[in-house]
Structure 1
Amino acid sequence: MCEEHTVSLVDVLEEDEELEEEASAVLAGSDSDHCSYPQGYVKRQALYSCNTCTPKGAEAAGVCLACSYKCHEGHDLFELYTKRNFRCDCGNRKFTDLQCKLYPEKDDVNTLNKYSHNFSGVYCTCRRPYPDPDDQVEDEMIQCVLCEDWLHGRHLGREVPENNESQEMICVVRQVKEETGGRSNTDVAPEEQVDDVIKPSAKRTREEAELNCRLKELQAVNQKRERSGAVFWPSAWRSTLCSCNTCQERLSGAQLSFLLDESDTVVAYERKGQNNEQNQQGHDPLMSALDNLNRVQQLEIIHGYNDMKSELKDFLQRFAAEGKVVTPDDIRHFFEQQQSRKRRRVEAAPFY
């Protein structure tokens, strides 16, 4: 096997915790046991599209996390990451041969749901799947906060900044500039100007707020900038949008009211998921069981677990160092050895 194509088991073990954190950030913010349909159009949730039930050419449909587990197990699913303001379609009219096991009483169609080519398993302006077996170029996919499509960095029409993790990407610039009077990361107002220009103080009258409309200021100086390519704005850019009544009405008419909601961001959703995961860990059944044991028993179990974890890591490291593949028989032999050592320790223990 070529060394450049070899993945070390040690590397896998070290990356496992990071992968779990990423998964919990996406999934822990959604309910994995109950269909989200009764909640209506959920503010943001993890979604999937089932290629088995709604193949190419059929009406687009999306299912929630719980339905992907309970109703579509073993199906060919497209992971959509998260979408905003969506109601679960599982088992409605679009699914001719499937009834939702978790919440079968659904309307024929969810009229307010929005669908895109993502629901067919393709992304970006190039309309390619992800991962793409025919694409040999290493390139990250970035989600637009407006259309929520995922785009290749090389197809954004501009160079991707190095610190893009802390920014939100918008692939359609003109719509945001004209509808909201927002600013890019190169011309964000200083903190001392935010209250005076962008966010009118609550003490001011409605008329005064309208006079300080940021969008009107831009229009007065003909500052509708035509730009090509996507923009990356700092995570707090939403707080700089004008929220006067006129701008709120314009945002509502363009179905962009969510831009004034800072909790709409994927970062806020992931933070919620991480908090949920931590709370669940705080109620771990194993820890509850340990609470019912005395101090000596607790220490014995904890030390035994840590010893087994350390021995398993050492066991896998030997295979990695020798470039060998770990088989089910190897794993079975490892645990048989563990049981054998445990029996010897018990038999060797003195009897009082």
Structure 2
Amino acid sequence: MFGMAANVGEEEATVSLVDVLEEDEELENEASAVLGGSDSEKCSYPEGYVKRQALYACNTCTPKGGEPAGICLACSYKCHEGHDLFELYTKRNFRCDCGNDKFGEMECKLYADKEKVNSGNKYSHNFFGLYCTCDRPYPDPEDEAPDEMIQCIVCEDWFHGRHLGCVVPDCVELQEMICESCMNKTAFLWNYAAHIAVPPMTKVSPCKGEEDVKVEVENDEEEKKINNEKPKSSADEKVQVNGTSACKRKHQEEAEGSSEEGCRLREMKASGWSRTLQGAVFWPSAWRTKLCTCTDCKVLYTDAGVSFLLDEMDTVLAYENKGKSTMQAEQAGGAEGRDPLMSALNNLNRVQQLEIIHGYNDMKTELKDFLQRFAAEGKVVTPEDIRHFFEQQQSRKRRRANTGQYYCS
């Protein structure tokens, strides 16, 4: 779903061979990572609410105006082949809906004994092919602006970068994002954002002089739960911060290195560091390990419905790594049964199999050699070059046919 639209100028656009090969490899790796973590043969329904899986929505069976529903990878292949599907990337804690009451008379071909409704599933406009605060499809035929789509790790909706209310930092693929709406619903996360989010936090107090500086501290419900105190009076809502030349480092060390007996969140609130409470927030790698795990904070996460933030294996990156490992293990073990090409070859006789494999290997080798010449010379590949290559392929194929070449078993 991460994608960047391309601007097209008046002249014919050209790309280098390196760009083509890198993009192709990136797309292949991404597909393997997302799909490799899900089973393409068996419906995931018996597994219950799966921790994370690749999901799809069927516009043919559950169009906009009806009940939203999600289907697993296997059902998208076996039960909804040829249908108009929306790719939802991945969702957490979801159970396959295929064949339940939302699909009318249609039954799941892979697992028939399903409950009428999966009450634990959460749905959004994504299940009707709509995304972001602009409530538009992706790709959007009416949107010519180059932009990328980024997923919020809490609501799992996808947003255009320009609609996040902030500047999207570089290397966004290495980070996680929480949209402004979800930040406001879990207001205590703003305290973490002031200390560990990307870009670096800003300080309300100047932290330059030797005099005391008064800093406002938010008196919200989460603070009352953490501190186990009665509501403070307005006079108590001030905290004195002694400003010194080393205070920035001191507060950061206290926030990141608090003792196990203390509450890290409470210390962050008392540090005086603040951040503008608007716009999406981007988080660096391994930021979840810096969240406080004291008893009171765990209750806070549960009440806010974000306990999954304490699970490092909840991340999409962890899921993708699992998918890559699964694919590599299958390839190393010779697990060819799930490969569509191998399945098709198994239905052919030995002679046909050898002919196809021979032709494929020939074309692969020749295409690689052909393109490597362009890469070595730093040239771009034009449509005429590609046409010339396949004309040569057809010419060689005709010569082999005329000579009566064949392969015996």
Instruction: Tell me, yes or no, whether TM beats 0.5.
Output: yes
- CA distance in 2 between counterparts of 1:334 and 1:278 reads 37
> Aligned letter for 2:184?
R
- CA distance in 1 between counterparts of 2:282 and 2:369 reads 44
SS in 1 for 2:99: coil
2:54 paired residue number? 46
Question: Structure 1 pair 315/237, CA: closer, same or farther in 2 (3 Å)?
Answer: closer
Q: Aligned ranges for residues 258-337 of structure 1 at < 5 Å?
A: 258-284=308-334, 307-313=362-368, 321=382, 323=384, 333=394, 336-337=397-398
Residue-pair matches, total:
321
Correspondence for 2:27 among 19, 22, 34: 19
Unpaired runs of 5+ residues, structure 2, are 1-9, 202-247, 337-341, 343-356, 375-380
Question: Structure 1 pair 12/343, CA: closer, same or farther in 2 (3 Å)?
Answer: farther
Question: Structure 1 pair 265/322, CA: closer, same or farther in 2 (3 Å)?
Answer: closer
> Aligned letter for 2:294?
C
Matched, 1:33 2:37: no
Matched, 1:251 2:301: yes
> Aligned letter for 1:65?
L
Question: Structure 1 pair 303/104, CA: closer, same or farther in 2 (3 Å)?
Answer: closer
- CA distance in 2 between counterparts of 1:282 and 1:82 reads 26
SS in 1 for 2:109: coil
SS in 2 for 1:227: coil
Q: Aligned ranges for residues 37-116 of structure 1 at < 5 Å?
A: 37-116=45-124
Deviations 1:218-264 (A, max 9, x none): 44567675521111110211000010111111111111000000111
1:217 Cα offset (Å): 2.9
- CA distance in 1 between counterparts of 2:395 and 2:135 reads 47
Matched, 1:232 2:275: no
1:145 paired residue number? 153
Q: TM-score, normalised by structure 1?
A: 0.78
Identity %: 58
- CA distance in 2 between counterparts of 1:81 and 1:338 reads 46
- CA distance in 2 between counterparts of 1:228 and 1:180 reads 9
1:164 paired residue number? 172
Question: Structure 1 pair 96/224, CA: closer, same or farther in 2 (3 Å)?
Answer: farther
- CA distance in 1 between counterparts of 2:115 and 2:144 reads 43
- CA distance in 2 between counterparts of 1:169 and 1:280 reads 32
Q: TM-score, normalised by structure 2?
A: 0.68
- CA distance in 1 between counterparts of 2:254 and 2:403 reads 69
Asked if structure 2 preserves the Cα contact closer than 8 Å seen for 1:174 and 1:226, the reply is no
Asked if structure 2 preserves the Cα contact closer than 8 Å seen for 1:179 and 1:250, the reply is no
User: Is the deviation greater in 309-318 or in 76-85?
Assistant: 309-318
Deviations 1:202-224 (A, max 9, x none): xxxxxxx3xx1123334456767
- CA distance in 1 between counterparts of 2:304 and 2:161 reads 27
- CA distance in 2 between counterparts of 1:191 and 1:269 reads 31
The Cα RMSD (Å) is: 3.8
1:154 paired residue number? 162
Question: Structure 1 pair 322/92, CA: closer, same or farther in 2 (3 Å)?
Answer: closer
2:134 paired residue number? 126
> Aligned letter for 1:256?
V
Unpaired runs of 5+ residues, structure 1, are 202-208, 290-301, 347-352
SS in 2 for 1:277: helix
